[in-house]
Structure 1
């Protein structure tokens, strides 16, 4: 196989590219809200890229949500995929669907040194598992297991829906306010775009102040300008991401390292590196030493999911 089409489809954006000779070409990013179906979005991509339908006989789509053999329903948007109908509509011989974070996990194995930023120093053990986790429209998580000879197996999961951990009295107060809103509080309820807005709202509520911002982008901008409540919310966001990432690393034994991915954190990378993330990551009591030498990187490469979709096609043969 020399030419294929790869896609990475999340709740907000659908990214497509041509996969040729182990690299990405003609990358386009489309808004999922602008298209009624993944078929229409991919057809629009082909038109923009000057490709006829069926130009790539194989397509791999990294999709947000659990993938099975049946129809696929996206977790955070309105799209659905029936494999047979999709292939007929787009004149495709072969369609491979994989979980979006499994693809992102495979993608980080191809990163160049300048496509990741060190957040926490450590020593990555080449024969140990790796955690890949990151907030965006939702909170995604996947694991990498070493297969030997430089190859990795990606294990998708729904780790973004674990319970939100509580590590201090202050966090317990915020958790109670969140619980009144959500009931059972999942990590994704805070560690996502909508989650940051919910977190900011309860920070304001606890301080007896009205919320001034209506979305995550406004909160991040205000925090970077030093606005107190927005800064407190974004700092707590980083701390909770550290607690959740540390829990995943501890559960998996991820001494191969942890990668933070997704569209949110790179937008406030300097803040994130200076935040309480690293301390919260290893705040595990007697087991803190277990994580002492586990490195954490922030992925700055723009399209790790597309790279991983290409790797998945190669591995599938």
Structure 2
């Protein structure tokens, strides 16, 4: 469906389990503006959050692209990590969006990858790896949940994959991981990537690592585990938290390497989401990259593939704008 000039200005949104981020796009190719993040817990459902944003910025956008954390199939949309569900048709009618496009949040983030600049990224791994131009890009994004996607080049620009890779099985490698994940399996019945590599997953992994090491510990929130692992605040480093976060980074690196192999992502692999930037230096010094490459005879295939941590604050909004641009005939890799 081709957008017309009457579809602007447009609303773009990135709806996660924790935050609902909104912005306006004035015209095709324009960068998102009037960016505002609202706590999702403050609103009963998505329409209420949209109404609150539009009232604050005093705007009446004519179209919208909304990225949500969950599948975007059919009229009824149910978020994966927030008790929100809504009708696409009813939402479009209430706000007069024509068109209204729903895409997965990681799909939006993947569309933003070609638009990211050097200041938006932190290298994870050795210098000198730049990726192959015009080859697929991969995305793994730990946050409230765990999202995965990829960006594929086409003659018309980049397209993104809508996937639910976070629900695939998680593969342990060493003895500590095997024992820790055995405990997670006993607790949950199955160990998916998301059950460990997200915010609540870090808390679950902390309990499991403690049990695997024969240690007793009080339950800790993810932010406190991270703080103690990087040595912030009083008390210095906590060895159990350091081991937990090290194991987390190793498992994340292994999952990222698996994704690179699955997609043939010779252009690069990107770590997004709201969790990893909180311990960026720790991640860069962790076993993440070693585990990323540790794929047996495929290590040489992965060694030249660069890996990056996304530091940009609201990249999925840029990706949602790129999706609208593609409907208007503007290439999705435009600057």
Task: Indicate conservation of the 8 Å contact 1:15/1:27, yes or no.
Answer: yes
Q: CA deviation at 1:213?
A: 4.5
Give the aligned partner of residue 240 of structure 1: 251
Task: Indicate conservation of the 8 Å contact 1:197/1:216, yes or no.
Answer: yes
Give the aligned partner of residue 190 of structure 1: 196
Separation in 2, partners of 1:212, 1:184: 24
Give the aligned partner of residue 90 of structure 1: 95
TM-score (norm 1): 0.96
Task: Indicate conservation of the 8 Å contact 2:176/2:212, yes or no.
Answer: no
**Which stretches in structure 2 are left out of the alignment for 5+ residues?**
232-236, 329-335
Q: CA deviation at 1:42?
A: 0.3
Given the alignment of the two structures, is residue 175 of structure 1 paired with residue 181 of structure 2, yes or no?
yes
**224, 229, 235: which one aligns with 1:223:** 229
Q: What is the total number of aligned residue pairs between the two structures? A: 313
Separation in 2, partners of 1:36, 1:176: 37
**Which stretches in structure 1 are left out of the alignment for 5+ residues?**
none
Separation in 2, partners of 1:28, 1:123: 33
Task: Indicate conservation of the 8 Å contact 2:140/2:272, yes or no.
Answer: yes
Superposed counterparts of 1:124-143, under 5 Å: 124-143=131-150
Superposed counterparts of 1:39-58, under 5 Å: 39-51=47-59, 55-58=60-63
CA-based RMSD? 1.2
Q: Secondary structure at the match of 2:132?
A: coil
Task: Indicate conservation of the 8 Å contact 1:141/1:157, yes or no.
Answer: yes
Separation in 1, partners of 2:203, 2:216: 13
Separation in 2, partners of 1:171, 1:103: 32
Task: Indicate conservation of the 8 Å contact 1:213/1:219, yes or no.
Answer: no
Separation in 2, partners of 1:141, 1:39: 26
Separation in 2, partners of 1:168, 1:214: 24
Separation in 1, partners of 2:289, 2:120: 20
1:50-95 deviation digits (Å, cap 9, x = unpaired): 22xxx11001100111111321111111111212211222233321
1:10-32 deviation digits (Å, cap 9, x = unpaired): 11110001112411111111111
1:89-143 deviation digits (Å, cap 9, x = unpaired): 2233321100110000011221121110111232311121110111000010001
Task: Indicate conservation of the 8 Å contact 2:293/2:302, yes or no.
Answer: yes
Structure 1 stretches of at least 4 aligned residues deviating more than 3 Å after TM superposition: none
1:158-199 deviation digits (Å, cap 9, x = unpaired): 111111112112211112111111112001111000000000
Q: Secondary structure at the match of 1:175?
A: helix
Task: Indicate conservation of the 8 Å contact 1:223/1:230, yes or no.
Answer: yes
Task: Indicate conservation of the 8 Å contact 2:206/2:241, yes or no.
Answer: yes
**26, 36, 39: which one aligns with 1:31:** 39
Task: Indicate conservation of the 8 Å contact 2:180/2:211, yes or no.
Answer: no
Q: CA deviation at 1:285?
A: 0.9
Superposed counterparts of 1:233-272, under 5 Å: 233-272=244-283
Give the aligned partner of residue 145 of structure 1: 152
Separation in 2, partners of 1:251, 1:92: 37
